[in-house]
Amino acid sequence: MSKNRRLAIIYIIPFFLLTVCVSTPPAEEAASLSLTENKEQEVKAEQELKEEQVFQQAVADDPYDAETYHNMGYYYYTRERYISAAGSWEKALELEPDFRIETTLGFHWTPNTASKQGVRITRNLNFNDFSLYLFLATAYYDAVLKPVASPDNPVSEQEKQSLLEKAFTAYSQGYNIDIITGKNDDRNLKTIYLGFIGTTLDLLGRNDLADSIFIELAKIADVDDAIAKRIDDAIAGSD
């Protein structure tokens, strides 16, 4: 055996023994990881608190600026704090009832898993210049349909029903502003409105009204087999 190889073994053996004898037990390793995760969560919470304080200061400096409330709502929404987002957007609309979103967005509408039925839109939908009511309604909707570990999360069925009622009202207001008045009768935007309105009604148990909305939706977009059958049954029942 060469001298270099013997030296390599001499160095490797104690390192191996040290690794085996002093390696962190699984329980301690898990505890260490847990501490690291907790620390990361603390740092994240501190950062978000600082960011939130920036928005709160901006509101304090100018409590009549709808744009600030809109931005704060978007901040909350992206952090899954849906009720806080809705509160901010409500304030923006109170200050500026015709507040509109002008940035082009991708909005992918998928079936909701809380309902036995759902509507599937088979493509990404892009549109711009729409009422902030669409965002407001979706914040209420997501507070019910996307349960997360947040102080905003509704805890009772009564609260969830109340949020769905608010979502339906806001979707209807946005639909009237954008589609009925013709401010933006883009087909993609109409598809989004009808899909959310129909499903919200479905979740509220207003099935007949939901069916009428789905019938309108099927005229301009693809729907899944369950909804297609429901529409056929609804039409057959009305004959």
Based on the domain organization, do 164 and 233 belong to the same domain? Answer: yes
The dihedrals phi and psi of 64, each to the nearest 5 degrees, come to: -115, 15
Let me know if residue 179 belongs to a domain: yes
Let me know if residue 20 belongs to a domain: yes
Let me know if residue 215 belongs to a domain: yes
Based on the domain organization, do 138 and 220 belong to the same domain? Answer: yes
Q: Residue 61 has what pLDDT?
A: 87
Closest CA to 158 of 139, 173, 144: 144
Give tens-digit pLDDT for 180-191.
Answer: 998 887 888 898
Let me know if residue 85 belongs to a domain: no
Let me know if residue 224 belongs to a domain: yes
Based on the domain organization, do 210 and 121 belong to the same domain? Answer: yes
Based on the domain organization, do 109 and 212 belong to the same domain? Answer: yes
Strand 130-131 and strand 105-107: pairing? unpaired
DSSP the chain: --HHHHHHHHHHHHHHHHHHHHPPPHHHHHHHHHHHHHHHHHHHHHHHHHHHHHHHHHHHH-TT-HHHHHHHHHHHHHTT-HHHHHHHHHHHHHH-TT-EE-S-EEE-----TTSSS-----S-EEE-SEETHHHHHHHHHHHHHS--SSTTS--SHHHHHHHHHHHHHHHHHHHIIIIIS-S---HHHHHHHHHHHHHHHHHTT-HHHHHHHHHHHHTTS---HHHHHHHHHHHHHH-
Query: What is the CA angle 79-195-227, rounded to 5?
Result: 125
Query: Rounded CA gap, 151 and 48, in Å?
Result: 14
Q: Residue 233 has what pLDDT?
A: 79
Q: Which domain holds residue 41?
A: 1-48
Based on the domain organization, do 112 and 226 belong to the same domain? Answer: yes
Q: Residue 35 has what pLDDT?
A: 65
Q: Residue 108 has what pLDDT?
A: 41
Let me know if residue 53 belongs to a domain: no
End-to-end Cα, the chain, rounded Å: 95
| Amino acid at residue number 191 | T
Asked if 164 and 200 count as a contact pair (C-beta separation under 8 A), the reply is yes
Q: Residue 132 has what pLDDT?
A: 93
pTM of the predicted model, to two decimals?
Answer: 0.72
Based on the domain organization, do 145 and 216 belong to the same domain? Answer: yes
Based on the domain organization, do 220 and 146 belong to the same domain? Answer: yes
Based on the domain organization, do 161 and 230 belong to the same domain? Answer: yes
Q: Residue 103 has what pLDDT?
A: 65
C-beta neighbour count of 26 within 10 angstroms = 8
Q: Residue 155 has what pLDDT?
A: 67
Based on the domain organization, do 125 and 191 belong to the same domain? Answer: yes
Based on the domain organization, do 117 and 26 belong to the same domain? Answer: no
Let me know if residue 62 belongs to a domain: no
Based on the domain organization, do 121 and 202 belong to the same domain? Answer: yes
Closest CA to 180 of 193, 161, 167: 193
Give the chain's residues under pLDDT 70: 1-37, 39, 41, 43-45, 103-127, 147-152, 154-155, 238-239
Based on the domain organization, do 36 and 117 belong to the same domain? Answer: no
Let me know if residue 64 belongs to a domain: no
- Total number of domains in the chain: 2
